[in-house]
Structure formats: C-alpha cells, structure tokens
Amino acid sequence: MSQLELRGIRKTYPGAAEETLKGIDIDIASGEFLILVGPSGCGKSTLMNTIAGLESITDGAIVLNGADIAGMEPKDRDIAMVFQSYALYPTMSVRENIAFGLKIRGLPKQEIDQEVERVADLLQISQLLNKKPANLSGGQQQRVAMGRALARRPRIYLFDEPLSNLDAKLRVEMRTEIKKLHQRLKTTIVYVTHDQIEAMTLADRIAVLKDGELQQLGTPKEVYDRPENLFVAGFMGSPAMSFVPVTVEQGDNGLEAEVRGNDGRAIRLPVPEFLADRVGREVILGIRPEHITQPQDQKNDQTLVAKGEFTIEVTEPTGPDVIALIQLNDTNVHCRIDPEHPVEWGETAELMFDMKKVVFFDPETEKRIAPH
C-alpha cells in the first residue's frame, strides 16, 4: 500500500527551449489506479519516466510514502514498470525474466522459485516458464512483462502504454485482465495511455495532460461529464464531443439558443438558467453524440429537451448505434441513433436534443462555464 505525491514536477530537457513538464501536481492515493492520458508529446511518458527515476526532474518533488525519492536511482525506488515493447530479456527464459529482479536483489533461490510460481499462477503463464520470449505471442509476452513487474511486489506499478502493441480483440481482453488484477491486488498503479477508452474503462481517476500541463484530474465520470475545457472535452469520448457556436437569447420560456441546419431550417434549443448573465453573447455548446438521438417518447415532457428536423449528411453504423453527421451553425455534429430507427444520408430526420447534460464553454478562455 503506497501513496505517491507529485509536487510541482518540472522538467526541461537540456538544450530545449520549452519545458516538457510545467509543474505537475497529482496526489495518488494508496491502491488507486491513476491514468495519465493525452496526445503524443504531452509529456505523459516523460512524467512516468521521472517517477521511475529513468529521467531526472528539473524542479519539484516525488514523494512516496512520505519520503522524497526524486534524487534516488531507479533500483532504490522500489517501482516496477511494464513497457509498451514489453522489453523482455530475449536471451532469458520466461522464468529467468521474472526472476531476474529478484536474483539481483539477492533473494534466496527457494523464495525466488516460490515467487515465480505465484506470479505464473496469477497470470496463467505456468506452462510458458521455460520458453524464450521470441516464441511467445504478443499477448503472452504482455503477461510475462506484467509478471516481471508483479514478482518484485514493488510499492508502485507503472504501465507505459502496455496494450498499444496488441491487436484490438486482445487489447480488450487484457484491459479486463488488468482491471481484475487491480481489483484483486489493490496495488497503486500509474498507467500511461493515449487511448481515451482505456482511460475511461480502467481508471479510478484520470489525469489529462497537454503540452506538459495538467488539464484536468478527476474520475472518469467527472472528466467525461464535466470537462474543464475544450481540450479535455474534445479528447475524451469517441466520437468526440461536437462544439457549436451559439448565442444565448432570452426566450418566452427561459433562455434559448438557436441552431440552424445546412438546409436553413432553425430550431431554438432550451439552455440552462446559469447562462443568464451571458444573454446576447456567444458561447460554445459542447454536445456529445448521445445527446442527439431519434425522438424518445418518454422524454417528450421533460424540460431542456427539444426536437427538430435536420438533413443527415453521413451515416456510420457501428452495430449498437448509428452515428449520423449533421450540420449545426456550419459545424459538424455527430448524433447517436438507434439502428432500429433507420435514417438515410441525404434525407431529413427528426432528432431529439437532450440539453440536460450538454456543457458550455467560454469562447475566450475555452474553459467550461460552471453552474453557479
């Protein structure tokens, strides 16, 4: 059980003009599964390497169970890492791979054997122990890499995009496996990925990074439902949230915003009361595909719901849903439609807007406008 605090982590590479990490503060509770997510080049891997001790920090503190480990060598930090490429030692058997760290730490042979057995049972790789990594499939190598990390019973586990090299089906399987493992072992995990679905499904909390800055830190639900800014909103969710510029107006039954389809027809969407001080000004409406659906009878009487007819430009059936593309105020907007309610491209369809969960952003600051 280990608790990790990152305090004002800054990192500038020698000779680089800009900071790679611009003061990251994250507290990771004992047993927590924290995911660092962001586009490539956001600094998430650098942050992970600094935790591991593979790279130094320019400023800040890395506090593990109350002690600052920032100046320590990787081997003294008692942290294990699973790499994207697995980084298995090619000349050693699976058993030797798992045992390597234990051997170096000078554990007695009997204890090492026990530990290898335990880990192999846990990950169901007992039958692979005498094989060389080159003779294993990608999924098996992945398991061995996790086994090597687990064997040492380190204080913190770091996962650096561990599933990126697997094919789609295996990735989903291993995702579930990792989640199960975490629920069983209650270990503290920091996990880097650029895959926002992995982040949503695995994390206790997600830290979204961009350009070396922490954009938002919160539970998957918080990050998804209440993104702090346009970047987080656009990054989390697939298909992504659509951003429609609208003007807040005072209507007869409360605040409204007009959206116009590409055929010129417009409807007025009800917007929440906390936008009252922005009447007459432009805001950015952030709307997720699932907020625009086929008409649903049970929602007819609810507040903050509107209906209108729009021309469907593209349909993308995914199986459980059909993703349809429409235009609102000259921006592309995705809608998530029940496949039992067929829509065809080029035709008009009646769509229902559920405005209860939409979010609004200030066009200047790009920050979410919070309810008072």
Partner 1 sequence: MTDVVRTGFRPSRVAIYGVLLLAALVYLIPLFIMLVTSFKTPMDIRTGNLMALPTDWTTIGWTKAWSEACTGVDCNGISGYFWNSFKMTVPAVLISTLLGAFNGYVLSKWKFKGSDLFFGMLLFGCFVPFQVVLLPMAATLGQLGLANTTTGLVLVHVIYGVAFTTLFFRNYYVAIPDALIKAARLDGAGFFTIFFRILLPMSTPIFMVSLIWQFTQIWNDFLFGVVFASGDSQPITVALNNLVNTSTGVKEYNVDMAAAMIAALPTLVVYIVAGKYFIRGLTAGSVKG
Binding site for partner 1 (CB under 8 A): 49, 52-54, 73-75, 79-81, 83-85, 87-92, 100-101, 104-105, 148, 152
Question: Shortest distance, CB of residue 150 to partner 1, whole angstroms?
Answer: 13
Q: How far apart are CA 156 and CA 319, in angstroms?
A: 39
The kind and range of the H/E element at 169 are helix 168-185
Backbone angles phi, psi at 287, to 5 degrees: -130, 130
User: Is the Cβ of residue 154 or residue 308 nearer to partner 1 in the bound state?
Assistant: 154
Q: Which residue is listed with tokens 């909103």?
A: 233
- Cβ-contact 42, 22 below 8 angstroms: no
Short-list 81, 47, 372, CA closest to 209: 47
User: Is the Cβ of residue 88 or residue 202 nearer to partner 1 in the bound state?
Assistant: 88
Short-list 119, 258, 18, 166, CA closest to 176: 166
Question: Shortest distance, CB of residue 109 to partner 1, whole angstroms?
Answer: 17
Question: Shortest distance, CB of residue 235 to partner 1, whole angstroms?
Answer: 26
User: Is the Cβ of residue 60 or residue 133 nearer to partner 1 in the bound state?
Assistant: 133
Question: Shortest distance, CB of residue 193 to partner 1, whole angstroms?
Answer: 16
Q: Report which residue type is found at 106.
A: G
DSSP 229: B
Q: How far apart are CA 144 and CA 150, in angstroms?
A: 10
Question: Shortest distance, CB of residue 44 to partner 1, whole angstroms?
Answer: 16
Separation in Å, CA 299 to CA 307, 335, 354: 11, 17, 8
Question: Shortest distance, CB of residue 74 to partner 1, whole angstroms?
Answer: 5
Question: Shortest distance, CB of residue 79 to partner 1, whole angstroms?
Answer: 7
What 3-state DSSP class applies to 234? helix
Short-list 160, 362, 159, CA closest to 275: 362
Helix 94-104 crosses helix 138-151 at what angle (to 10 degrees)? 20
